[in-house]
């Protein structure tokens, strides 16, 4: 089975491995979460979640449905990490 190298987000931006995305995460309530793309499979995008203070969580799979996430600039991600690491 061939591994895909990229996909697109809700805005049609090309996504690649190591890109940062914002996705909704639900735990009884919805919250937007930053994640980094680790790899692509034919049906899913393998990601790791960014938790508080710049700590990366374990990897997880999300559906490869482009209307569920949006690509964000890595500079904004770094700014957010620095801002919230008090």
Residues 6+ apart with CB under 8 A from 70: 9, 10, 11, 13, 21, 22
3-state secondary structure of 29: coil
Per-residue pLDDT tens over the stretch 17-63: 999 999 887 777 778 888 899 988 888 888 888 876 566 777 777 76
Give CA–CA dist 4/37, Å, rounded. 12
How many degrees, rounded to 5, is the angle at CA 21 between CA 19 and CA 4?
55
Residue 81 has pLDDT above 80, yes or no: no
pTM reported for the whole predicted model:
0.77
Please tell me the total count of domains within the chain: 1
Radius of gyration of the chain (CA): 13
Which pair of tokens denotes residue 40? 């692509």
Asked whether residue 1 is assigned to any structural domain, the reply reads no
What local confidence, expressed as pLDDT, does residue 40 receive?
Answer: 87
DSSP conformation class of 75: H
Of 16 and 52, which is predicted with more confidence? 16
Q: How many CB atoms lie within 10 A of CB 50?
A: 19
What local confidence, expressed as pLDDT, does residue 53 receive?
Answer: 59
CATH of the domain at 12: 2.30.30
What local confidence, expressed as pLDDT, does residue 1 receive?
Answer: 47
């Amino acid at each position: 089975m061939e591994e895909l190298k990229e996909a697109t987000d809700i805005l049609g931006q090309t996504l690649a491995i190591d890109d940062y995305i914002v996705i909704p995460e639900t735990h009884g309530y919805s919250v937007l979460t930053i994640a980094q793309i680790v790899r692509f499979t034919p049906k899913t995008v393998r990601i790791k979640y960014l938790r508080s203070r710049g700590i990366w969580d374990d990897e997880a799979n999300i559906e490869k449905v482009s209307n569920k996430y949006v690509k964000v600039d890595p500079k904004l991600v770094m700014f957010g990490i620095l801002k919230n690491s008090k």
